[in-house]
Every structure is written in C-alpha cells, then in structure tokens.
Amino acid sequence: MGAEAIKTNSLEFFLLFYYVQVLHLDPILAGTALLLALVFDGISDPIIGAFSDNYNSKLGRRHPFMYASAIPFGLAFYLLFSPPESFSGMNLFLWLTFFAITLRLMMTFFLLPYYALGAELTENYEDRTALVAIRNMFSFIAAMILSIVAFTVYFKATDDYPQGQLNPDAYPAFAFTFAIVSIIVIFITTLGTQSQIPFMHKNNSDNEQFTNSFTSFYRYFYKGLLETLKNRSFLSIFLVSITFFILSGLQRALVLHMNTYFWALETSKIQYMFYAFFVSTVLVIPFVKHIINWLDKKRSMYLGLSIILTSFVLPTILRLIGLFPENDSSLLLPFLIVSQITTGFGMAIMVVGMGSIMADIADDQELKTGKRQEGLIFSFIGLASKATSGVGHFLAGLALSLISFPTSENVTANEVPEDVIFNLGLVYGPSVLIFGLACFYFFSYYSITRKSHEKTLETLSQRRLLEKKQ
C-alpha cells in the first residue's frame, strides 16, 4: 500500500540520518525518540485493532478508521521533516518524538483495518497469498517511486552539497510532496474497498457490551491476548516478528550511514542501490504465489529469510576481513547492486508469506475461540514489530554514539576515522546476523500447513451453517 510504503521508507531510511547528520541531534536522543514513538505505536495497535473488530457503522467495521487517518497523517508527515530552524537539543528531540508518535498512530488507524480486510475478503489458502502479493507489489512500487523522486529531485548532488542527502533544504519539500500523495492514496484505497463492506464478516456478538464499557474493552483485550498467545503458531510468528524487526530496524536505520560512509558512495550511486532492491522486489512478487504453492508457506519463509540474511551480512563481513572490493574499485557498485537484488528477492517472499500466514492464523484462532479477531491478531504482530523495530532504531542511535560517529556539518567519508568505519561495519554486519539466526529458531514452531488449514476451513464452514440454522 502506497501510504504505508511512504511512511516506512521515509522514516526508516531517511529520518535518523536527517536528524543526526543534517540537524545534528545527539544520536542517543534521536534513537530514543524513535523508540518511544514505536513503543507507543505498538501499544496502540491492539487497542485500535480490538475496536475495529467490534465497531459497527454503515461503513462497516474497518473503513471509518481508514478515512479518519488521511489528513492527520499528511500533516504529521510534513511537520516531522520540517522542524523550526531555531530548534536544537531537547526542543528538537521533543518535536521528533511528538510527530513520530502522531504519524505512526495515524498510520495504525489506516493500516490495521486495511490488513484485516485481507483476511475477510477471501478464506482460500492460495488466494490469500495472491491477494497479499498484489498488495505488497503496489507497496514496493510506491517505495521505488519514492526513492527515485527523492534522489533525482530532492536529494540530487549540488555544488554546496555533493552528497545531496546532507542538504537540509531538501527535506521539507520532499515531505510536503509525499504528504499530499499519502492523503490521496489513503482516500483512494479506502474508497476502492468500500463496495465489499456488505460481504465482510460482521462484528462479534458481544459488541454492544464492548462498546458501552471501557471495562468490557479491557476484558476483551486481555482475554484476546491470552487466547492468542496460547496459539502455538501465533506465538511463533510473534517471536519471529520481534527478532526480525529488531534486525530490520537496525539495518534500515543505518543503511544510509553505510552507503554514505562505509562504502563511500556518491548520491548518484546510492540511488541505484535503492532502485535495485525495489525493482527486484516488485518483479519477484508476482511469482511468489507459485514459489509458496510449490514449497508451502513455512519452507518459503525459510528460503526468504536465508536470502535476506546472506545479502545483508555477507558483503559487510567480507569487507571487514579484507575480501571485498575496495571503495575505489569499479567492482564495488556491481557487487553491492547484486546484493540488493538478492535482498529484494528474499524480501518479496517474506512479506507476501507473512501476510498470508497471519490470515491463516486468524482462521485457526476462530476455530479455537469461536471469534473473528483479525484486527486483534494483526495488531499484536504490529505491537511486536513496531516496538522492536523501535529497539532497532534505538540500538542504531546508541551504536553511533558508542563508536563516536561524527555528526559535524557536511562530514565526508574521508573525514571519518578508519576505526569508526570498521566499528560501523561490525554493528551492521555480525550484530544483524545474531537476530537473523534467532528468527530461524522461533519459526520452527509454526505448524499450520495447507492440509491443516483446509481442515480448519471445513470445520468452520460446518459450524457457521449450524449457527445460521439456530
């Protein structure tokens, strides 16, 4: 989805770099602000998810939340990249914290109901994979467009800023453009699914009690949390999300630092790295359904994770031990582009497989509890992913501070001490690998297969027929 892609890629690729290297905010303060925003976001996810499960209106359960998010999201996005010029230190920290929280909260209002729709539109094991594939293909296309526009229009090299991503004047204009685009995309997406409201699942039977009492809400929330954590497959994905998003948050928060200083790439070359990743992901997504149908979802996720880890970690480790082309080598950029292409391949499998798996878990949970809780289930994963991605951002900021990475104005790669560059590589490479290996372990406990899901759907169908007769 376009708006989510704009939010995710802007915040994870550009935000920490902007506040630390451009606005010169202390890296620990910047990392702390992003951690607080993501923790708040994660806490709000189950609340909003639970309300969307149980809300009742002429526009159904999900769509009122989606419509309400559009304009506040756009405003928060613009202001996040447009702090007052006089702000520094604690004022800049508070500005970053407030608008990062606001932006993520508004995205939650849109995204959780939007994701929950995927579990309601179809129950077919394979069709869900196709639906998630289409959704994510458009998301990555939007991310690719954002990267192209960002580097060719806003962050292009100038005489004053040979590395355009260091130009402070570029960020407000960049943010304004994509704030407007996000608002439009949210409205279009919401309108596009509105016709399906009559065919979606209705709210749970205890809705009246739920909406009339906050006490009832908390009972519903905590009961739902305990019920879902008892589901072995859900717990597996929950723990995978925690570890993977720490990995992803750390990697994405530091990728621009790595490209700018560790690999010493010019702005024109950095953009090729982003293009390679997004183009690869978009091209592979249409084929992911066939890969998953062939290998099944669990083995496909193992494949995707293996590819991602190898692509993330291997080039950096090889450089640290002196087995990768030097920065002045003509072979450097081609090797890095190949790494991004393979990363995109693995990421395509992961994002499509994860979305489809969550919808299957919703069915499994209904079998066990008798309730449709897509919003709550997706929100718990959102809580894990967002909070721990925030941990990744915080660790990135902490690492930059611990290795004494310079934040002075317009610092170039040649001005950063070699030992600091080496330590940056250690943070980005081997440290990321540890979290990746943990993902493999936790995912081994996932147990839903094509056959078990078909049996679940058959049982649910029989149960629903009996309920209608009664």
Give dist(CA 464, CA 470) in Å, integer.
Answer: 10
Binned at pLDDT 50, 70 and 90, residue 209 comes out as: very low
pLDDT at 95: 95
SS3 for 456? Answer: helix
Tokens for 35? 């951690």
Binned at pLDDT 50, 70 and 90, residue 442 comes out as: very high
Tell whether the model's pLDDT for residue 22 goes beyond 70: yes
Rounded mean pLDDT of 300-314? 90
Consecutive H or E run containing 224 = helix 214-229
Q: Which residue has the higher pLDDT, 60 or 414?
A: 414
pLDDT at 207: 47
Domains of the chain, with CATH numbers?
Answer: 2-195+214-469 (1.20.1250.20)
Task: Name the DSSP class of 329.
Answer: -
Q: Which of 249-263, 329-343, 431-445 has the highest mean pLDDT?
A: 329-343
Q: Which residue has the higher pLDDT, 380 or 429?
A: 429
The predicted model scores a pTM of 0.67
The pLDDT tens digits for 233-283 are: 888 988 888 888 888 888 888 888 898 899 988 877 888 887 888 888 888
pLDDT at 462: 83
Average pLDDT for the chain: 80
Tell whether the model's pLDDT for residue 211 goes beyond 70: no
Tell whether the model's pLDDT for residue 212 goes beyond 60: no
Tell whether the model's pLDDT for residue 13 goes beyond 70: no
Neighbour-count burial of 465, counting CB atoms closer than 10 A to its CB (0-12 exposed, 13-18 middle, 19+ buried): exposed
Tokens for 213? 């009492």
pLDDT at 118: 58
Give dist(CA 426, CA 446) in Å, integer.
Answer: 31
